[in-house]
A and B are shown apart, each in its own frame.
Chain A
Amino acid sequence: MHGTVSTAEDVLTIAGRQMRSRLLLGTGGFASLELLAEAIAASGSELVTVALRRVDPTARGSLTDVLADAGVQLLPNTAGCHTARDAVITARLAREAFDTNWVKLEVIGDEDTLLPDAPELLRAAEELLEDGFVVLPYTTDDPVLARRLADLGCAAVMPLGSPIGSGMGIRNPYNIALIREAVQVPVVLDAGVGTASDAALAMELGCDAVMAASAIARAQDPVAMAHAMRSAVCAGRLARGAGRIPRRHYATPSTPTEGIAAF
């Protein structure tokens, strides 16, 4: 538990960097760079993910410029990598391209579910940590794997709620709560968020932050959804600190039963 939370003073610290926003934003899937810029502003996010792909000389506009103008910190990902080797090379290229040693480490083990490949993930994390990276691994909702990653020295763990882009929310809230207990580093709920209530639930379960990508980018109104996610993360964080009432099987009257008139 984090005790009483005041939103003004409540900062998220990852690897020594302090952020007021607890919402991480993925930049994938936005219909235009203009829409992305508006969504970043609405989300309040200070940390946004980018991918590395081959230069396309015909591409219009510069994502790098848009993100620089937004004043956000970049979190390069290794999306699309299926081996530790590919992920390590991609991270090193990202460090070169974006001048940051932070990496959202993704090593995918299955094409249909895009679930992480645990052994490759551990291998890549170990190598990148030795090379001085700040590693934020995208992981399954397995508390033991999360602990292993944290023990290696990862700066945070990013367990999935459900498969990337599925919008199925948090399929195993119990495991997410166990992960929060299992590690000392920040827990960022990543993947599967479909709407604002999923983000609020993640925070109520004790997550330190939420990452949203498709849920915002592919919403009918991405800017409005960015705003909704921002509010949901704040609400969930406050509710976690406030301490919810226990669940009970039967009703408990909220109005005193003493002094009831007898007719």
Chain B
Amino acid sequence: MIVLNGQRSDLRAGETVAAALARLDLDLDARGVAVAVDGEVVPRAAWESFALGHDARVEVLTAMQGG
């Protein structure tokens, strides 16, 4: 099962980071967004090609107000 931002998702192994972004209504030009899969940064240039594994943990982060 692929976990997206801490929630179970319907993403399947082989789908890409771009598909995960689409689940969050984000496209590939989204400003101020970064992605980590299993604790490693996935650079923007690899979003369309990076395929998720069976138990991938995907974190999609953006700017939040903070100290």
Q: How far is the CA of A174 from the CA of B11 in the complex (A)?
A: 56
For residue B33, CB closer than 8 A to chain A, the reply is yes
Q: How far is the CA of A54 from the CA of B34 in the complex (A)?
A: 10
Pick the contact of B43: A51, A52, A96 (CB < 8 A). A96
Q: Which B residues, 9 to 42, have Cβ-Cβ distances below 8 Å to chain A?
A: 24-26, 31-36, 39-41
| Cross-chain contact A51 with B36 (CB below 8 angstroms) | no
Size bin of chain A's contact surface: 35 or more
Chain A residues with CB below 8 A from B62, complex form:
52-55, 63-64, 97
Size bin of chain B's contact surface: 20 to 34
Pick the contact of B41: A28, A50, A65, A93 (CB < 8 A). A93
- Nearest A residue (CB) for B44: A96
Q: Which B residues, 47 to 67, have Cβ-Cβ distances below 8 Å to chain A?
A: 59-67
Contact (A54, B41) CB under 8 Å given A27-B65, A63-B63:
no
Pick the contact of B64: A53, A65, A214 (CB < 8 A). A53
Chain B residues with CB below 8 A from A213, complex form:
67
Contact (A94, B34) CB under 8 Å given A55-B26, A57-B24:
yes
| Cross-chain contact A36 with B67 (CB below 8 angstroms) | no
| Cross-chain contact B60 with A54 (CB below 8 angstroms) | yes
Q: How far is the CA of A49 from the CA of B63 in the complex (A)?
A: 10
Pick the contact of B66: A27, A55, A68 (CB < 8 A). A27
Residues of chain B having any CB pair with chain A under 8 Å: 5-6, 24-26, 31-36, 39-41, 43-44, 59-67
